[in-house]
């Protein structure tokens, strides 16, 4: 608990250090952006530490990071401290509620993580290896932990961000990993609540401080829809567990291994059933990945698509500020934070850049529509300024950048319509409702709906042709897109609606929904051709973006229906519709988190803990002790040789948990990061030569070529090379650590004394 308290203190300090900048940048939001304070602090301080270390002005140690914190705090509080304090005093209740939202979400997330904390399985070793490389690093750029001597691969900046509070607090990385998983959940939850609250807040005075209870309720609902709710696969699991449906029905559903199988209780008996919710689309090879945020959190992989979520939400909040700014000038804090968020997103999860860069530009341009075409044309260069500055800020990331070969491909198969319904049915329904609400509102105000007769005819014909061609998914999305286009054009052509402040929530929600539908259409037509040769990653990453946007738009639509209902008898009808829709969304959305957590809870026999290395400490205590010795007693750059094995297994454990680079880790992931290279095969052979060496010169020749300092021999090495290999190595090399059959050898006495190269 002391370590958790130290880490949380570090997170709070980061948020407070940069709070004046947050308050100024989000000056048009009711809470002045307090819901984003933690992620702003982590990103700003993390970026400052990264760029100063990358350019050689400072190290990447704790002391250097503290200097960046102090410098940032002095600048922010000196420049904007007074108005920030005024905002805090006037909005103390809203700020307190935002802080409570973060802390409660964090507490719940930590409780769930404590039930299954082990950093093992799927890609957790990879995520820990990349994050721990930054935790251990004294300088930047740091090594690729699985290809020593090469720079850090992948879009890795999110791992650095998560490492910053861990380094400040000085806690074990295996604990910090689980704290980071919980932090992402809580930061995204608080940020989402802030955005939806701002969209629904009914105060006409921009300086009003009264807490809007309805907006707060739907803000929390929006946060739940984005971060807590699951798709409809869990509902189908219950249906299958109750024995309903025939073979033809379940074949149409298409979820692998899901069929009617009556069980004694109300829940599925298979302890791994919760995994199927992430594999809904049956016709994508090699694996149709359909993750959503709560699945990612429950799985516990600290992967870029998950880590980027708070930055994504922050960019939605900044886009809302740009939208409301209209034709007015972009302030320096807004420009700085927008550019920083846009830039760091590229190096955190590149897949998110098209979506959220597009949102930022669209919001800025469309927000100036009310001032007329001349003003909008004049603002276009200013709208591009944050994007241009973002490229400058993130330029160091592209020095020496490597990637696998990529190209665009044409999709040869479609997502089945039923699969789309399982994944996004309730959210797409809410988007449809938002468009209908906007059109009905226009008619109620006596405004003409701007749609020539030919528009409806063309849309109907297009839908009919697609259905005749058996393109039901495209037909559904095209019809919904046409409805959104009609609603948007009608609203944007109505000066009265645009000028009405309270209507901005509907228009911004419409923009989010429209962008989401455009993404869903795009992934049905084109994909990024990568190492896998299919659209697997395109669907995976862009569907994730669509979930974020649709959840925000859906919660906004429900809130508008509830809070902006017309007076008179229609008011009750609107509230009944909104309440019923919200109840249905909550009831279906909560099935997955409640049942999945219960399944994992009942299957977890060990006492709750947040120590991610528990499985290693209990299962291979001598291996764990040797890895801890390496982490505590060797230099950050010390290269350790360990056995190489298949991806997704327990090979790579030494580099992952110690933070020390190894000659070669998971080869399949190197292929994804850098493409095919002869280096992988050569290093695999060199590792084998080391473990099979008969003479000291043989060992020294390979070790010198790679500047290796230590050789690890544990349980996996014994299985792979046999106990005779350990006996042979014991005659050739000095042991610096030995416990119960696990030994760490040093290649030279000098390196033993120095703790590494």
Q: What is the 3-state secondary structure (H, E, C) of 141-190?
A: CCECCCCCCCECCCCCHHHHHHHHHHHHHCCCHHHHHHHHHHHHHHHHHH
Q: What is the DSSP string of 544-600?
A: HHHHHHHHHHHHHHHHHHHHSPPSSHHHHHHHHHHHHHHHHHHHHHTHHHHHHHHHH
Give the pLDDT confidence score for residue 359 in this predicted structure.
96
Q: Can you state the percent helix, strand and coil of the chain, rounding each to 5?
A: 70, 5, 30
Is 218 within 8 Å of 130 (Cβ atoms)? no
Burial code of 140-176, b = ≥16 C-beta within 10 A, e = fewer? bbbbbbbbbebebbbbbbbbbbbbbbbbbbebbbbbb
- The angle at the Cα of 25, spanning 19 to 26, to the nearest 5 degrees, equals 90
- What is the end-to-end Cα distance of the chain in Å, rounded? 35
261 Rama class: left (phi>0) / alpha (psi -120 to 50) / beta: beta
Give the pLDDT confidence score for residue 752 in this predicted structure.
44
Report CA Rg, the chain.
27
Question: Which residue ranges in the chain fall short of pLDDT 70?
Answer: 203-209, 326-328, 369-379, 442-453, 494-503, 565-571, 603-605, 749-757
Give the pLDDT confidence score for residue 376 in this predicted structure.
63
Please tell me whether residue 662 adopts helix, strand or coil conformation. Answer: strand
CA distance 649 to 125: 9
Strands 639-641 and 735-739: unpaired
CA distance 306 to 316: 16
Give the pLDDT confidence score for residue 538 in this predicted structure.
96
Closest CA to 617 of 659, 657, 661, 666: 657
* C-alpha to C-alpha distances, 649 to 264, 644, 675, nearest whole angstrom: 35, 10, 21
CA distance 311 to 122: 24
How many beta carbons lie within 10 A of that of residue 621, not counting itself?
13
Give the pLDDT confidence score for residue 500 in this predicted structure.
56
Give the pLDDT confidence score for residue 329 in this predicted structure.
72
Give the pLDDT confidence score for residue 757 in this predicted structure.
33
Helices (H) then strands (E): counts for the chain: 34, 6
Tell me the sheet residues that pair with 746.
710
Is 700 within 8 Å of 429 (Cβ atoms)? no
Question: In the structure encoding, which two tokens stand for residue 693, read together?
Answer: 């060496």
Q: What is the dihedral of CA 547, 553, 559, 563, to 10 degrees?
A: 180
Alpha carbons within 13 angstroms on the beta-carbon side of residue 310 total 27
Q: What is the dihedral of CA 225, 505, 306, 113, to 10 degrees?
A: -40
569-589 and 591-602 helices, crossing angle to 10°? 30
Tell me the sheet residues that pair with 656.
none
Tell me the sheet residues that pair with 708.
639
Give the pLDDT confidence score for residue 327 in this predicted structure.
57
Sign of CA dihedral 297, 299, 302, 304: negative
Closest CA to 137 of 47, 64, 244: 64
Please tell me whether residue 640 adopts helix, strand or coil conformation. Answer: strand
Question: In the structure encoding, which two tokens stand for residue 697, read together?
Answer: 């010169």
Summarize pLDDT for 640-681 with one digit per residue, the tens. Answer: 999 999 999 999 999 999 999 999 999 999 999 988 899 999
Q: What is the pTM of this model?
A: 0.95
């Amino acid at each position: 608990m002391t370590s958790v308290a130290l880490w949380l203190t570090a997170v709070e300090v980061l948020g407070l250090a940069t709070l004046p900048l947050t308050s100024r940048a989000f000056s048009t939001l009711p809470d002045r952006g307090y819901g984003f304070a933690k992620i702003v602090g982590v990103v700003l301080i993390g970026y400052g530490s990264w760029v100063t270390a990358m350019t050689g002005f400072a190290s990447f140690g704790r002391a250097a990071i503290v200097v960046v914190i102090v410098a940032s705090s002095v600048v922010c509080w000196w420049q904007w401290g007074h108005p920030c304090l005024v905002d805090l005093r006037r909005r103390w209740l809203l700020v307190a509620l935002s802080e409570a939202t973060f802390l409660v979400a964090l507490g719940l997330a930590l409780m769930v993580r404590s039930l299954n904390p082990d950093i093992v399985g799927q890609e957790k070793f990879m995520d820990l290896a990349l994050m721990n490389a930054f935790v251990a690093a004294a300088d930047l750029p740091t090594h690729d932990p699985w290809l020593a001597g090469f720079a850090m691969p992948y879009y890795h900046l999110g791992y650095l961000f998560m490492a910053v509070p861990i380094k400040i607090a000085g806690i074990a990385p295996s604990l910090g990993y689980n704290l980071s998983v919980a932090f992402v959940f809580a930061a995204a939850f608080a940020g989402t609540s802030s955005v939806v609250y701002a969209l629904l807040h009914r105060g006409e005075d921009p300086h009003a401080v009264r807490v809007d209870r309805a907006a707060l309720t739907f803000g929390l609902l929006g946060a739940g829809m984005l971060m807590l709710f699951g798709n409809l696969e869990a509902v189908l699991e219950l249906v299958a567990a109750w024995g309903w449906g025939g073979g033809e029905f379940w074949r149409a559903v298409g979820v692998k291994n899901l069929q009617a199988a009556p069980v004694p209780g109300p829940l599925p008996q298979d302890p791994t059933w919760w995994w199927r919710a992430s594999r809904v689309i049956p016709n994508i090879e090699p694996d149709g990945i359909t993750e959503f945020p709560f699945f990612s959190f429950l799985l516990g992989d600290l992967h870029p698509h998950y880590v980027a979520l708070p930055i994504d939400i922050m960019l939605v909040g900044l886009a809302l500020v740009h939208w409301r700014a209209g034709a007015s000038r972009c302030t320096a804090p807004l420009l700085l934070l927008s550019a920083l968020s846009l830039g760091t997103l590229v190096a955190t999860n590149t897949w998110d850049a098209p979506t959220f860069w597009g949102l930022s530009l669209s919001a800025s341009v469309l927000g100036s529509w009310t001032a007329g075409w001349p003003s909008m044309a004049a603002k276009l260069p200013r709208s591009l300024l944050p994007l241009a500055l973002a490229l400058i800020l993130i330029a160091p990331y592209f020095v020496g950048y490597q990637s696998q070969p990529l190209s665009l491909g044409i999709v040869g198969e479609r997502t089945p319509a039923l699969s789309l319904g399982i994944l996004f049915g309730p959210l797409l329904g809410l988007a449809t409702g938002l468009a209908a609400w906007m059109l009905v509102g226009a008619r109620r105000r006596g405004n003409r709906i701007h749609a020539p007769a030919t528009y409806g005819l063309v849309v109907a014909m297009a839908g009919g042709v697609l259905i005749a061609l058996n393109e039901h998914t495209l037909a559904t999305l095209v019809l919904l897109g046409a409805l959104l286009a009609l609603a948007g054009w009608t609203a944007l052509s109505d000066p009265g609606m645009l000028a009405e402040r309270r209507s901005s929530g509907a228009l911004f929600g419409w923009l989010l929904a429209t962008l989401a539908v455009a993404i869903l259409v795009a992934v049905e037509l084109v994909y990024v051709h990568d190492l896998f040769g299919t659209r697997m990653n395109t669907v995976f990453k862009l569907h994730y973006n669509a979930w974020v946007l649709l959840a925000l738009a859906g919660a906004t639509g429900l809130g508008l229906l509830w809070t902006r209902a017309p007076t008179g008898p229609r008011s009750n009808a609107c509230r009944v519709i909104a309440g019923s829709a919200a109840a249905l969304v909550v009831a279906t959305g909560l099935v997955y988190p409640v049942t999945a957590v219960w399944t994992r809870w009942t299957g977890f026999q060990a006492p709750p803990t947040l120590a991610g290395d528990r499985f290693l400490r209990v299962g291979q205590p001598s291996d764990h002790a040797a890895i801890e010795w390496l982490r505590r007693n060797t230099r950050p750059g010390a290269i350790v040789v360990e056995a190489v094995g298949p991806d997704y297994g327990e090979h790579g454990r030494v580099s992952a948990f110690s933070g020390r680079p190894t000659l070669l880790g998971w080869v399949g992931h190197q292929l994804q990061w850098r493409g095919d290279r002869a280096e992988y095969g050569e290093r695999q052979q060199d590792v084998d030569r080391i473990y099979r060496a008969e003479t000291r010169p043989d060992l020294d020749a390979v070790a010198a070529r790679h500047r290796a300092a230590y050789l690890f021999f544990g349980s996996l090495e014994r299985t792979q090379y046999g106990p005779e290999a350990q006996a042979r190595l014991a005659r050739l090399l000095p042991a610096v650590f030995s416990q119960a059959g696990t030994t760490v050898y040093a290649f030279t006495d000098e390196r033993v004394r120095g703790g590494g190269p």
